[in-house]
Amino acid sequence: MYYKKKSERRNAMKIYFLAAFILLAGCTLVQNDDSYEPSGSGTPSASLQPSSDTSASRPALQSSPQSTPQSSAQPITEGEQAARSLLEAASSNHFDVVEAIIEESEIKELDELLKYVLTYWHQYSYKNQEDLQLVSLLLEKGADPNGVDDDGTPLLFIARTADMLKVLAEDERADLNVISPHGSTLLLSAIGSYNSEKVDYLLQRGADPNDEGIPNDQEKWSPLHLAVAFSDRVEWVMPIVESLLNHKDIDLTKVDEENRTPYELAVELEKYEAMELFEKKGLGNPAE
């Protein structure tokens, strides 16, 4: 249990937490706006052949626990309730309550708190990055950045923003080479969610720009092939294509499962913006 009856002090703390929770429960729940990140862990849908309509909205990506509201038929667990209390306190900048709850928690409880905080943190609003402060505090007290959510997805994959990913990744225990249950890498996940800031950060931290993975539970993709496939989403994805092309270790001769180089894929799918960028950099290899 999160608040164990070990002493009169803890009994008093329980009353304090309950009163604080009741007070904070009146706070308005506001969806945190991650304008450039569609949903979930950023995993592409089963079909990775984008529409030829370049004005189309972003394709629907797989949902994840953090973007799927809890069913009212499912009872909320004690860990979830404690995490929501933390989030409500943090969103109201009541870090005295946050610190008190965390101090009363054991290591295993901290791991569960971090899991549910990362599952639900986007449902609250924060004025001064209190969400990042909360996660940093949990990590500082011993929560494991390499934990997984209820579906077995590593927590690093459900960090919706680049800033939250950085908080987790800067912990010296964090494993940035972690693979998702269906075989995706963090870099492919960042590309699939069109998050160029995440991509740049991961490349800076040493992510292999040629490392293949399975971002959609079906097909194997290299980072550049995946970025090219979505490059008609110019505003979001072309900066990613350029970052990959500028990487000193990028392999332009790497072929996909249909024996196409990234440039040949761009030609075949008529991704004109990507083709133009390849050719501008002198990297095109049009078939003769």
Over the stretch 148-196, which tens digit does the pLDDT of each residue have? 999 999 999 999 999 999 999 999 999 999 999 999 999 999 999 999 9
For residues 253 and 259, give the distance between their C-alpha atoms in angstroms, rounded to a whole number.
10
Dihedral (Cα; 157, 159, 163, 168), 10-degree rounding? -70
Q: Is the pLDDT of residue 209 over 90?
A: yes
- Would you state the structure tokens that stand for residue 26, as one six-digit string? 């009146």
For residues 229 and 264, give the distance between their C-alpha atoms in angstroms, rounded to a whole number.
11
Q: Is the pLDDT of residue 67 over 70?
A: no
User: Tens digit of pLDDT for each residue in 73-129?
Assistant: 578 899 999 999 999 999 999 999 999 999 999 989 999 999 999 999 999 999 999
Least confident of 21-25, 95-99, 128-132: 21-25
The chain-wide mean pLDDT, for the chain, equals 82
pLDDT at 76: 86
For residues 265 and 259, give the distance between their C-alpha atoms in angstroms, rounded to a whole number.
9
pLDDT at 113: 97
Contacts of 173 (CB under 8 A, 6+ apart): 144, 145, 146
pLDDT at 285: 65
Q: What is the value of pTM for the model shown?
A: 0.78
